[in-house]
Amino acid sequence: MPLCLLAGMVLAAAGATMPPSATPAAGDLPAFLARVDAAQLELQNGRPEAFKALWAHTDDVTLSGGFGGTVEKGWVAIARRLDWVAAQFSRGSHTIDRIVASSDGELGYVVQVEHIRFFVPGHDQESSRDYRVTMLFRRGPEGWRIIHRQADAQMQKQAPN
């Protein structure tokens, strides 16, 4: 489904409309994604603050993280989870294969593959993780903010049993 159609459906369901002249320019999404990439590198080095600052601090944000577990909902739960995630990483690096990134008005998304190399604090052996990632963004007065992140390590296609 095209993002513009999805955005229109969301606005219509909320009883809101947005005149075409009020639609924000979507061209700054690449700059925001560069900030996300840099903030994730900070997270992978045990420092969560920059990544946390890019999230919408609202009750409707969600996180389905690459370490598994429950889907976190609401800023308080996500902030706590991101602090925990940062404590799992040190001396991290990553490469990101961006598959698609798009935005239309107030909503945006990215689909990418992340290759992370890091050390678990207190361990001498390097670890690695490869994640398939989808993130959704909402644009507000402060600019783009993350509203959902889903990451999983299911990199191999598997037929059902």
Report pLDDT for 157. Answer: 83
Residue with tokens 């903010």: 145
Report pLDDT for 105. Answer: 82
Calculated CA dihedral for residues 20, 10, 145, 109, nearest 10 degrees: -90
Which domains can be identified in the chain, with CATH numbers?
A: 25-152 (3.10.450.50)
Q: What percent of the chain has pLDDT over 70?
A: 83
| Tens digits of residue pLDDT in 54-112 | 999 999 999 999 999 999 999 999 999 999 999 999 999 999 999 999 999 899 999 99
The span from the CA of 147 to the CA of 152, in Å, is 17
Report pLDDT for 156. Answer: 85
Report pLDDT for 108. Answer: 97
Average pLDDT over residues 127-145: 96
| Length of the chain (residues) | 161
**Position 22 pLDDT exceeds 50:** no
Question: What string of DSSP letters covers 5-17?
Answer: HHHHHHHHHTT--
Quick one: pLDDT band at residue 6, thresholds 50, 70, 90?
very low
In terms of pLDDT, which residue wins out, 92 or 14? Answer: 92
Report pLDDT for 27. Answer: 60
Residue with tokens 């609401």: 74
Report pLDDT for 14. Answer: 41
CB–CB of 131/66 below 8 Å? yes
CA 46, 142, 12, 19 torsion-angle sign: negative
**Position 5 pLDDT exceeds 50:** no
Average pLDDT, the chain: 87
**Position 37 pLDDT exceeds 70:** yes
